Structure 1
């Protein structure tokens, strides 16, 4: 400074200082601001030294820097862990899709074998029972097909499945005099219950064809699906003969519906209409 005559500033200069209480050496930090004081002839007569201590601020900044470095390391670990979990999830999803695909293929093969066997049987009663069993197998195969085609293996759009199944059941019946009216919104349930709910819907829809609109009776099937707070409600309604609620049914279809609804935590109710029947399936949402 004496050579150039310019002020000099040292920011946060460290100094090792002995503690007065004998506690050893510790580092303190100071700002040094040196400014020349000149005589009348502009020569430097003295130096003004302003030296405030900055130890407190420097220590806080050092602690903050360490905390930020630790946070950055933690975030890096979280990102690495997230990448690993996403990779594991993708692998699990692929595996589940493969399982659903294979299950669907196996069910399709079983259905084909039953159809071959059915053609060798002349007894119409046995043939009818085999046909009903094949319809249930086809329903399960369709459930697994939709599961392996889904992006989210934890959810199952039961409303979309119901619309597809209703169209399929009517088409398989060969009945051109049955009209399907659909009014649905997406309903996602836990995929764990997909098979049970799929079988329930199969029974609901096939019952309409076999009992409500049998004997050549033309009519309309109305399919609706809506959210209702914490529950989802799916209804199948027809204008057919109508169910006799006073008559106790011991058929396999009603038995399946009763048992499967308990497994899926769902509720099925029947209402007699004039004319026809309404079957309501109430399910818990996935949210």
Structure 2
């Protein structure tokens, strides 16, 4: 372990005086390590003392760094954080940059050494750039991206029977979103159902699909409903029936009807599989 403090009185070529205190520290154990470098500057050229600190902290499965800036009140200038799951994958990753505070620190340093004067203080209420990835559960993920103009976020969830993907282009300001959702279920009577929907900011309502079918060991029968038009009355409905149902091959015919269709088409869906091979065909 180590700690070092250095103090100095400095006079610039222009005659500006300043006092500088630099402190460094390092300490660690077999499982944890921490270090920082800190500078504290006072000068008549500064309206208030300036302090900045860079910290590193590592421990089992967690790694982080932070740059703190204090010119009146402490704020984070930049940071990153990485967390690993016990299985070895990435559980969370976060990177953040406060461009406004970093810019103000650089301006203060330039004024201190009588370098060229930069433009005035930025007018934005915030200039934070952020990227945050988080594995919230073993089967769900989230991403958050922030800039001065907007915040965006997305999430993915999945399981053996359900899948969901969402993206919010203006998170916290608008409820608009892009979404893809699908779910598969089976009841005690061996009846299966697949339903899903698609959301888009330009659509007045979601596009929906609902398929229900059953298998009695010899034939597949069921129904399909496609609600994909602006008017709900224009939805497409149909009946499902298998023409061939063998051990490795199935051909299902869908007879469709709806107000939006000029004719009532028939759609054939064929699927066949063998070890390491799957074939699909739609007519």
Normalising by the smaller structure, the TM-score range is under 0.3
TM-score where L is the length of structure 2 = 0.22
- Larger % of strand: which? 2
Larger Rg: 1
**TM superposition score normalised by structure 1:** 0.22
Higher RCO (CA 8 Å, separation ≥ 6 residues): 1
